[in-house]
């Protein structure tokens, strides 16, 4: 779920944080391997999986399952085999004959993605239960999660990690509102603390979510907003196509008091959908200002996330323009990328679009080609009946930090985003 960089200064400040703290990076960031690891035969994708192996595998398997393709047993076994003894999933574990140790980058996002995929596939209750138990054990006192709980890159609760864990809990049959921290805080309380409310300026940012406060201020972040919308709606990226369709509307102000946490989260999700719909109107897609660029460029990954979120909220017509833009402009972004292709498959499914003919591309065939062949003779896209598929629960660099933000926070955002939006 790419972020919307709202100003050149924000992107520059993130780079500055890295630039001014090379020693900190050297001491705390997972080291880049001197040579890419051998790509396991069961893994989807041929690029270095060090920072995104579990993430991209989870998206590939979830997308295949969602459209009726049975993933290769070898691919599923690879994902299950990545799990650590304590239930967590690292970003990638090259040697599964050794258990995870202190050097492993334990990843709440990868764990949550794996939970969603394995819960959807079925038959992996033990793995799902262990993963959920670990997620609960590393919940922060405010009710939320960081991307690297207790690790060197733990920068505290962020909206993205909290949202994807909420979606994972839902997929596993848990009740997020009842998953409270030792301080008695629920995940919804943590998540909603990141929403820009009725006093947000500019007013068009109302309903958006921030990744984390930047310089003490909440800054609208499309990545966080899409993830939060799905969490609030009680789903993940495998969205059952909605039977209703209405234009998304802005956050209702003043906001009415919710009867319970889940209802409050659902209302917040609709406000988030309103923000995303408005943000898509200008160009028909989201944009991002990348480091070194003078002008914002198209943000394909976050646009796909926004389409999924809007469809989940029952606003397919608000997503229609962006969906057409993705059909015409996403091929280069998604080429040979399991996570990107998986995201597009899920966007097609959420909107009731044929993934076999997405802007002239058979997305499922392209996804299947990135890994071991699926099971069964028919490995093409077969859109499943939405009545048979329950919501399964439920990705680019995050540069949303203010000038002068701490280097640690900047580094944490960078590493949290290293696997998201599919290695752009």
Position 78 pLDDT exceeds 80: yes
Quick check: bond before 277 cis, omega within 30? no
| Rounded Cα gap, residues 90 and 96, in angstroms | 11
| Rounded Cα gap, residues 171 and 390, in angstroms | 10
Q: Exposed, middle or buried by CB within 10 Å (0-12, 13-18, 19+), for 252?
A: middle
Q: What share of the chain is helix, strand, coil (3-state, %, to 5)?
A: 45, 5, 55
| Cα angle 391, 327, 233; round to 5 | 25
Residue 102 has a pLDDT of: 77
For residue 372, the number of C-alpha atoms closer than 13 Å in the C-beta half-sphere is 19
190 or 35: whose pLDDT is higher? 190
Q: What does the DSSP assignment read for 324-393?
A: HHHHHH-HHHHTT-HHHHHHHHHHHHHTT--TTSBTTB-HHHHHHTTSSPPSSS--S--PPPTTT-----
Check if the beta carbon of residue 150 is closer than 8 Å to that of residue 417: no
Specify the range with the lowest mean pLDDT, choosing from 76-90, 165-179, 254-268, 352-366.
254-268
pTM, entire model = 0.84
| Rounded Cα gap, residues 138 and 130, in angstroms | 13
What is the CA 69 to chain-centroid distance, rounded?
22
Residues 6+ apart with CB under 8 A from 22: none
| pLDDT confidence band for 34 (50 / 70 / 90) | low
Position 381 pLDDT exceeds 60: no
Q: What is the pLDDT of residues 185-212, one digit of tens each?
A: 999 999 999 999 999 999 999 999 999 9
Of 255, 340, 354, 363, the residue nearest 45 (C-alpha)? 340
């Amino acid at each position: 779920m790419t972020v919307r960089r709202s100003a050149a200064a924000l992107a520059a400040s993130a780079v500055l944080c890295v630039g001014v703290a090379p020693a900190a990076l050297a001491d705390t960031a997972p080291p880049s391997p001197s040579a890419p690891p051998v790509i396991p035969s069961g893994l989807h994708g041929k690029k270095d999986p060090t920072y995104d192996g579990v993430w991209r595998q989870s998206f590939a398997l979830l997308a295949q399952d969602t459209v009726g393709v049975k993933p290769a047993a070898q691919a599923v076994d690879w994902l299950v085999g990545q799990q650590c003894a304590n239930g967590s999933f690292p970003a990638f574990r090259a040697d599964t004959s050794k258990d995870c140790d202190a050097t492993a980058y334990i990843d709440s996002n990868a764990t949550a993605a794996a939970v969603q995929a394995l819960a959807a596939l079925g038959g992996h209750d033990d793995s799902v239960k262990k993963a959920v138990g670990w997620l609960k054990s590393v919940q922060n006192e405010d009710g939320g999660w960081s991307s690297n709980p207790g690790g060197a890159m733990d920068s505290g609760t962020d909206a993205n990690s909290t949202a994807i864990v909420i979606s994972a809990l839902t997929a596993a049959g848990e009740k997020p509102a009842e998953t409270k921290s030792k301080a008695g805080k629920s995940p919804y309380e943590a998540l909603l603390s990141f929403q820009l409310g009725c006093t947000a300026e500019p007013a068009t940012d109302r309903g958006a979510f921030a990744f984390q406060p930047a310089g003490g201020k909440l800054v609208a972040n499309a990545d966080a907003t899409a993830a939060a919308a799905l969490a609030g709606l009680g789903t993940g990226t495998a969205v059952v196509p909605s039977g209703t369709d209405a234009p998304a509307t802005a956050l209702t102000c003043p906001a009415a008091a919710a009867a319970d946490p889940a209802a409050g989260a659902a209302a917040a999700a609709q406000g988030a959908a309103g923000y995303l719909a408005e943000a898509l109107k200008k160009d028909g897609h989201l944009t991002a200002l990348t480091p070194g660029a003078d002008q914002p460029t198209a943000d394909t990954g976050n646009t796909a996330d926004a389409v999924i979120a809007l469809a989940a909220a029952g606003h397919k017509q608000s997503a229609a323009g962006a969906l057409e833009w993705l059909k015409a402009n996403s091929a280069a972004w998604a080429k040979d990328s399991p996570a990107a292709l998986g995201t597009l498959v899920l966007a097609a499914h959420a909107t009731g679009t044929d993934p076999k003919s997405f802007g002239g591309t058979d997305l499922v065939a392209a996804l299947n080609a990135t890994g071991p062949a699926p099971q069964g003779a028919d490995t093409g896209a077969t859109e499943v009946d939405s009545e048979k598929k329950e919501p399964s629960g439920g990705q680019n660099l995050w540069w949303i930090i203010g000038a002068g933000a701490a280097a640690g926070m900047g580094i944490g955002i960078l590493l949290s985003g290293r696997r998201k939006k599919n290695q752009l």
